[in-house]
Structure 1
Amino acid sequence: MELGRDSDTGGQVKYVVELARALGSMPGVYRVDLLTRQVAAPDVDWSYAEPTEMLTPRDADDYGDDMGESSGSYIVRFPFGPRDKYIPKELLWPYIPEFVDGALNHIIQMSKSLGEQIGSGHAI
């Protein structure tokens, strides 16, 4: 993450990412997904174009592999709005319906996938 790059990448972003990381490490929490916009633009870090990024737990050495292949915390990025251009958050309003569609699709797919892994084949 490019923290401090502009008003969209300040302390709030760091706080939310650290919160997702901490929640994903808690007992009883299988997975945390932080949903955001996917951007493949030359003026931002290449990682913003990655659809999924795992957030390494703070206590990675103590983190058990027995939780499952999809457990932990992730940043999940959806393409919405112009994909090749970074847009400040204040200008994203016209693209919110695209984000909602991507988020709902992700939730449905994760429900099915996690159901197969830990829900005895039933969507979670």
Structure 2
Amino acid sequence: MKISVLPLEHSPLFPYTKIMHSVFAAGETTVRLDEFSISKSIPDLGTLTNVILRNAFVVAGIVALFLLIFGGFGFIMSAGSGDAKGMEKGKQAITGALIGLALVVLSASIVALVGTLTGTKGQLLGQ
């Protein structure tokens, strides 16, 4: 039994590889690694923590929004069909999303207060 191996450029799973050769063959590129130093954009630990927490709060808010939409959709669909169990699940999802959103706002406020009291650079809420 002979196994033949096709190059990636002939694979239907990777159609973009057909154009990669022409794109990368266009010319040489010089990359200076000193231009991408993380120390220029994040000078200290307070700023790094600020960046991480801002992104975490944004992600938590987006997740809470999706859960709120999902719970509302489930509640409306269950109410239309008269499914009491589904309505209860929808109510629980909405309640959980609102509690989670309240916790995110409260924790962001606490982190901003701690940042203000300690005098760190780069306040969390842009104060």
User: Which TM class, normalised by the smaller chain length?
Assistant: under 0.3
Q: Which has the larger radius of gyration?
A: 2
What is the TM-score with the length of structure 1 in the denominator?
0.27
Larger strand percent = 1
Higher helix share: 2
* TM-score normalised by structure 2 residue count: 0.27
